[in-house]
Amino acid sequence: MSVMFPAFLDLRGRKVLVVGGGPVAAGKIRSLLASGASVTVVAPEIHPEIERANVEILRREFQDADVDGTWWVVAAAPRPVNRHVSAAAESRRVFVNAVDDPQHATAYLGGVVRRDGVTVAISTDGRAPAIAGLLREAFDAFLPHEIDTWLKTSDEARRAWKAEQTPMPERRPQLLQLLNRLYADSSRLQASDSRPSTSSGRPEALGGRLPDPGSRIPDGRIRAQVALVGAGPGDPDLWTQRAIAYLAQADLVLYDALIDTCALRRFTDAQCFCVGKRAGRESVKQETIHRLMIRAARQGKRVVRLKGGDPFVFGRGAEEALALAAANIAFEVVPGVSSAIAAPELAGIPVTHRGCASGFLVLSGHASDAIERSLDAVRPNSVSVVVLMGLGSRGELAERLIARGWQRSTPAAIICGASTPQEWIWTGTITQLGANEPPAGTAGVLVIGDVVRVREALASAAELASRDVEGEKVRYGRNR
């Protein structure tokens, strides 16, 4: 079995071709520019970050001649284009790094750790980039933060050894003694500077108060070390521009289980780890998520915590914000489109409607006691009720509503996979709510109230209108 030959390239002042103009290409370009390369980008469409970069842009399809005169090629385009690039480069004896496309690559980039002049690269020969990423995390945690001091000590020792003509076999033991002395001195200094602290994430962790977070209104610049980002109901087309900007510059993304991972890879080349929670499945503890964010931020990484819906609507985003504030980590909350509103809306159901409901109640299906108190506080059939994470308890919820005087004929809807190709919608009454089985493994939203009838009215109107428009079907929301 052949093995890959590891090497580091000096690209300073040398021409590098990047084929592709999306967020992934933008991430590769950042690294190339940091290496001093002269970058040319070829793509029909160009990401705004690339347009702002110091690169040559050819806004068109790739041509074989684009490879002429290049030292290195990065193919970050769809696979048919990557195949074309690979063939053109092969005939010119130029190596190609095809992003997430090992079949059309002749060079593979590994997980890279850089700190104070030390570079560690880990490769799995293109077979398992995620494993390379995990190993990179381990090495990053292992490398001492005092590595620059170690290098300076080693340089001084090497000059002394040369002057004194110290034999080579004696140098390594002497270097280890010097480094052990530095490590011992550093440990004593850290011990003397330590202070009692708490990681509870509560306001008491800062003497009973938290620093004023100030305004979170974006000014267009990406400043925060950590971003708590809402990803909306499912379709990446509903991600905000601010969310995409943070993803494009991220080093680490911790994402929820319902995030579209294929779409995520279009917007970032960061390390991505799923930390989402799903009912009935083993999941990452919330405290562990806090530690991961804080540790990465303290290592200088830009972190995105990508959450379904909106971070502050049953997303435990406030807990994460408190943990970051207590650790004195700069963060920004990027709002997302909450599934509580988006899922009904995309199914043609408003949560408020004149003559039906002037308000709506959003509940978590996991919080049984909170549901009891909330339903007791409202008059039956006076508001719309939206329940997130309540598919498993929908029959019990219907019984509670009827017991509190809600009419048995009250309309109800179940929306699963809102805004995705797997979208599934059921409508009926609350007495039928528990008898219908949604698709297995999907997340869903329950909607209860007269507003559900608006969907039927829209469907009827669309059917009538479609008879008058040849070849066209009138649609509402994204209902399939």
Sign of CA dihedral 225, 231, 235, 240: negative
Instruction: Judge whether 285 counts as a catalytic residue.
Output: no
One digit per residue, the tens of pLDDT, for the chain of length 480 reads: 467 788 888 999 999 999 999 888 988 898 899 889 999 999 999 988 899 899 999 999 999 999 999 999 999 999 999 999 999 999 999 999 998 888 899 998 777 777 767 778 787 766 666 677 677 767 766 666 677 777 888 888 888 888 888 888 888 888 888 877 776 665 554 444 444 444 444 444 333 344 444 444 444 555 678 999 999 998 898 999 999 999 988 999 999 988 888 888 888 888 888 887 765 556 788 999 999 999 999 888 899 999 999 999 998 999 999 999 999 999 999 999 999 999 999 999 999 999 888 899 999 887 778 888 899 999 999 999 999 988 888 999 999 999 999 999 999 999 998 988 888 999 999 999 888 888 877 789 999 999 999 998 887 776 555 444 444 444 444 443
* Catalytic residue (choose from 256, 269, 301, 310): 256
Is there a contact between 310 and 230 (Cβ–Cβ < 8 Å)? yes
How many residues in the chain? 480
How many Å apart are CA 379 and CA 374, to the nearest integer? 10
| Strand pairing category for 38-42 and 56-58 | parallel
Is there a contact between 385 and 363 (Cβ–Cβ < 8 Å)? yes
What pLDDT, on a 0 to 100 scale, did the predictor assign at position 153? Answer: 83
What pLDDT, on a 0 to 100 scale, did the predictor assign at position 215? Answer: 44
What pLDDT, on a 0 to 100 scale, did the predictor assign at position 93? Answer: 95
What pLDDT, on a 0 to 100 scale, did the predictor assign at position 130? Answer: 65
The token duo for 341 is: 């509103």
Please, what are the domains in the chain?
Answer: 15-107 (3.40.50.720), 204-212+221-337 (3.40.1010.10), 340-465 (3.30.950.10)
Strands of the sheet with 411-416, listed across from one edge: 360-364, 384-388, 444-448, 411-416, 424-429
* Catalytic residue (choose from 15, 116, 260, 277): 277
Is there a contact between 361 and 385 (Cβ–Cβ < 8 Å)? yes
Instruction: Judge whether 277 counts as a catalytic residue.
Output: yes
Q: Where are the beta strands (DSSP E) in 312-432?
A: 331-334, 360-364, 384-388, 411-416, 424-429
Closest residue by Cα to residue 389 from 280, 242, 275:
280
What pLDDT, on a 0 to 100 scale, did the predictor assign at position 186? Answer: 57
What pLDDT, on a 0 to 100 scale, did the predictor assign at position 280? Answer: 52
What pLDDT, on a 0 to 100 scale, did the predictor assign at position 223? Answer: 64
